[in-house]
């Protein structure tokens, strides 16, 4: 049961998220309000059960989920669906670990956004020769690299991907369509976003708990 609700495979997690997300709107139009907690398994309860029954392989997934449920985001322009978790199920030690996990995840994601792992290599199509004054040991970004770097810089500054980086990098694949970068670089980025997601997912046990 716990393994089904909290799958260790990213592909399975994505399918579950898409499935439940699709149920939110019909559910809210039936019951009213914006609370969709009843549609999702409770991550705080799952953390307690996985800890008590010694299921360490399950733990990182409800921990990640709880971090996104309890993330304080920016004020939303319009009311949106929200979830709550049964925080009373957690121990003081759990809260301590969660605080550390949130910080570790945030630092790691900011590092990814700031590194060259996100930015396409010089593609040849978009290359602009650097100014003569530029230090040849530190060449300037190409036009495409600049577009991607600015986008990631903005996302990092505004904390756009902080609550749920796994979902953010999934939506980034469609968002990058609007960037002023060449089709080759966008295609590279789309493939790369999936690698970044898989890498993040595999690091969750170390990062969040
Ligand atoms: Zn390019």
Rounded CA-CA distance 62/41 in Å is: 9
H, E, C per residue of the chain:
CHHHHCCCCHHHHHHHHHHHHHHHHHHHHHHCCCECHHHCCCHHHHHHHHHHCCCCCCCHHHHHHHHHHCCCCCCCCCCCCECCCCHHHCCHHHHHHHHHHHHHHHHHHHHHHHCCCCCCCCCCCCCCCCCCCCCCCCCCCCHHHHHHHHHHHHHHHCCCCCCCHHHHHHHHHHHHHHCCCCHHHHHHHHHHHHHHHHHHHHHHHHHHC
Q: What distance in angstroms lies between residue 157's CA and the mean position of ligand 1's atoms? A: 24
Q: What distance in angstroms lies between residue 122's CA and the mean position of ligand 1's atoms? A: 7
Q: What distance in angstroms lies between residue 188's CA and the mean position of ligand 1's atoms? A: 9
Nearest to 183 by CA among 147, 132, 133: 147
Q: What distance in angstroms lies between residue 180's CA and the mean position of ligand 1's atoms? A: 9
Rounded CA-CA distance 176/168 in Å is: 12
Rounded CA-CA distance 53/43 in Å is: 15
b/e code 91-117 from CB counts within 10 Å (16+ = b): eeebeebbeebbeebbebbbebbeeee
Per-residue pLDDT reduced to its tens digit, 74-125: 555 567 888 999 999 999 999 999 999 999 999 999 999 988 778 888 776 6
Rounded CA-CA distance 198/11 in Å is: 9
Cα 91–Cα 1–Cα 60 angle in degrees, nearest 5: 45
Q: Which residues surround ligand 1, an ion (CB under 5 A)?
A: 123, 125-126, 144, 182, 185
Q: What distance in angstroms lies between residue 160's CA and the mean position of ligand 1's atoms? A: 24
Per-residue pLDDT reduced to its tens digit, 10-61: 999 999 999 999 999 999 999 999 999 999 999 999 999 999 999 999 999 9
Going from N- to C-terminal start, the domains of the chain cover 1-90, 106-209
Q: What distance in angstroms lies between residue 150's CA and the mean position of ligand 1's atoms? A: 14
H, E, C per residue of 162-175:
CCCHHHHHHHHHHH
Q: What distance in angstroms lies between residue 117's CA and the mean position of ligand 1's atoms? A: 15
Q: Does the global pTM surpass 0.85?
A: yes
The whole-number pLDDT of residue 199 equals 95
The whole-number pLDDT of residue 162 equals 78
- Residue in the block written with tokens 């669906």: 81
The whole-number pLDDT of residue 172 equals 92
């Amino acid at each position: 049961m716990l393994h089904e609700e909290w799958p260790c495979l990213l592909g399975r997690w994505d399918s579950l998220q898409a499935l439940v997300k699709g149920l939110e709107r019909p559910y809210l139009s039936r019951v009213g309000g914006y609370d969709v907690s009843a549609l999702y398994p409770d991550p705080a309860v799952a953390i307690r059960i996985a800890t008590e029954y010694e299921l360490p392989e399950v733990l990182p997934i409800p921990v990640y989920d709880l971090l996104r449920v309890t993330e304080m985001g920016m004020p939303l322009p319009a009311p949106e669906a929200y979830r709550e978790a049964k925080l009373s199920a957690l121990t003081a030690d759990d809260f301590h670990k969660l605080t550390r996990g949130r910080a570790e995840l945030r630092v790691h994601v900011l590092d990814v956004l700031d590194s060259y792992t996100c930015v396409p290599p010089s593609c040849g199509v978009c290359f602009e020769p650097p100014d003569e004054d530029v230090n040849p040991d530190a060449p300037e970004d190409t036009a495409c690299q600049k577009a991607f770097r600015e986008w990631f810089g903005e996302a990092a500054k505004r904390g756009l991907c902080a609550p749920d980086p796994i979902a953010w990098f999934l939506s980034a694949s469609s968002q990058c369509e609007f960037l002023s970068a060449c089709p080759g670089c966008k295609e590279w980025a789309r493939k790369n976003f999936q690698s970044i997601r898989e890498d993040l997912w595999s690091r969750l046990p170390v990062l969040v708990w």
